[in-house]
């Protein structure tokens, strides 16, 4: 941490289908000299996506729907009484977009990244600095949204291309299905059943979380101006949580893989989300594997999770069998998250830190610190 000037870090390690240990390191706020502990929340960033994927799978099961349901007819049915022109995903191609494609990043949807909105949590009362758009404005790219419209930009079902926007479509789907706030849906389907009591998808954050969250830093001694960003596209990056809570979800998923249900998470859902999907990466954009000259050009994704990883968070090359680990990483301004679990044996880790660049479109040098820590823990725990 000292080498990389990381202010604060929180870690949870899973062994044999239980949380073996969890601990906070360093400071959640340098100015106030407040230390990180296991209850300190962080923004999980893109680790929100696989948790949203689990909620989608639970919702489909509850409503008797298929993951291969076409998205636009489903929206048309759910929203037919809402407006003269219910929202539809713009798709100029003959191939329809399905829920499976959105979950696995093969729908061909827009590949831009969300940067969030500035918010004064320290004001009385708390108030936005930037106007915060509604969901329809986010989908259509209309002011005050700071991103383009969500649309299909390549033929669906063929190419893997990471698409946060696809998860905004899934967020809109869940809210249309349940007619509730997205944070309430996620609490009902995932967080409460798994006793993830320090987690919430609420955006802006609840006051108690806002008071306790680790201060985001973008450089040594430099906090992010105005503090944590608001991500109303919460399915893509709006979860606020702790490593211990994420480890609870990991254990539930691992137990479901071996036949034990937890909450609404049943074995069939666990197997489905961790089954590798078809598709190939874009030309010239294969995954690195940690081995010179060997690449992973097939899609490494299941439904929400990267399912082709080894114990060091590296991708398995195309000429090897699919990896024995599943996971996801997350990056919001001032926050990094690593979630990595084994498919067998019940091992894994969750790392969360409060140092990352403000610019979410550029390199993230601090991620090297996180991968070094993954390797160290994997070796100390003797993972295979």
CA angle 230, 236, 241 (to 5 degrees): 65
pLDDT in tens, 200-210: 999 999 999 99
pLDDT in tens, 313-372: 999 999 999 999 999 999 999 999 999 999 999 999 999 999 999 999 889 999 999 999
Stated pTM of the model: 0.97
Percentage of the chain lying above the pLDDT 70 cut:
98
Collapse the DSSP code of 188 into the 3-class scheme (helix H, G, I; strand E, B; otherwise coil) and give the result.
helix
Q: What is the pLDDT of residue 145?
A: 98
Report domain 8-380's class. Answer: alpha beta
pLDDT in tens, 100-122: 999 999 999 999 999 999 999 99
Which residues, at least 6 apart from 94, have a Cβ–Cβ distance to it below 8 Å?
Answer: none
Q: What is the pLDDT of residue 293?
A: 87
Q: What is the pLDDT of residue 84?
A: 53
Q: What is the pLDDT of residue 77?
A: 87
Domain ranges of the chain: 8-380
Instruction: Give mean pLDDT, residues 165-182.
Output: 97
* Residue that is written with structure tokens 């827009």 in the block: 110
76 has a pLDDT exceeding 70: yes
Q: What is the pLDDT of residue 206?
A: 96
How many angstroms separate the Cα of 345 from the Cα of each of 48, 256, 382, 384? 24, 12, 12, 10
Instruction: Give mean pLDDT, residues 265-281.
Output: 97
Q: With bands split at pLDDT 50, 70 and 90, how would you rate the model's confidence at 291? A: confident
Provide the phi-psi class of 304: left if phi over 0, else alpha when psi is between -120 and 50, else beta: left
Q: With bands split at pLDDT 50, 70 and 90, how would you rate the model's confidence at 83? A: low
């Amino acid at each position: 941490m000292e080498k990389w000037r990381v202010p604060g870090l929180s870690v949870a390690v899973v062994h044999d289908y239980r949380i073996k240990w969890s601990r906070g390191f360093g400071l959640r706020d340098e100015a106030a000299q407040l230390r990180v502990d296991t209850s300190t929340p962080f923004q999980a960033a893109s680790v929100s996506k696989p948790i949203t994927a689990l909620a989608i799978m639970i919702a489909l099961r509850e409503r008797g729907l298929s993951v291969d349901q076409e998205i636009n007819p489903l929206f048309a049915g759910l929203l037919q009484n809402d407006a003269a022109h219910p929202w539809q995903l713009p798709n100029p191609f003959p191939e329809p977009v399905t829920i499976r494609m959105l979950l696995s990043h093969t729908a061909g949807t827009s590949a831009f990244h969300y940067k969030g909105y500035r918010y004064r949590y320290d004001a009385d009362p708390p108030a936005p600095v930037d106007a915060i758009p509604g969901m329809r404005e986010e989908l259509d790219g209309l002011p005050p949204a700071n991103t383009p419209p969500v649309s299909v930009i390549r033929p669906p079902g063929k190419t893997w291309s990471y698409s946060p926007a696809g998860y905004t479509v899934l967020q809109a789907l869940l809210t249309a299905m349940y007619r509730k706030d997205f944070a309430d849906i996620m609490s009902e389907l995932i967080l409460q059943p798994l006793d993830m009591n320090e987690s919430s998808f609420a955006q802006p954050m609840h006051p108690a979380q806002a008071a306790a969250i680790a201060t985001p830093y973008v450089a040594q001694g430099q906090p992010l101006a105005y503090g944590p960003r608001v991500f109303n596209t919460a399915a893509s990056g709006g979860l606020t949580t702790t490593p211990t809570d994420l480890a609870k979800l990991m254990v539930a998923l691992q137990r479901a893989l071996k036949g034990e249900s937890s909450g609404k998470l049943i074995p069939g859902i666990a197997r489905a989300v961790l089954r590798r999907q078809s598709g190939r990466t874009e030309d010239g954009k294969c995954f690195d594997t940690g081995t010179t000259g060997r690449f992973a050009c097939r899609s490494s994704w299941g439904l929400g999770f990267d399912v082709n990883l080894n114990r060091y968070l590296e991708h398995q090359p195309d000429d090897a069998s699919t990896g024995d680990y599943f996971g996801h990483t997350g990056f919001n301004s001032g926050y990094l998250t690593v979630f990595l679990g084994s498919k067998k044996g019940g091992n894994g880790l969750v790392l969360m830190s409060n140092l990352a660049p403000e610019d979410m479109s550029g390199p993230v040098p601090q991620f090297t610190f996180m991968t070094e820590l993954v390797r160290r823990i994997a070796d100390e725990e003797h993972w295979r």
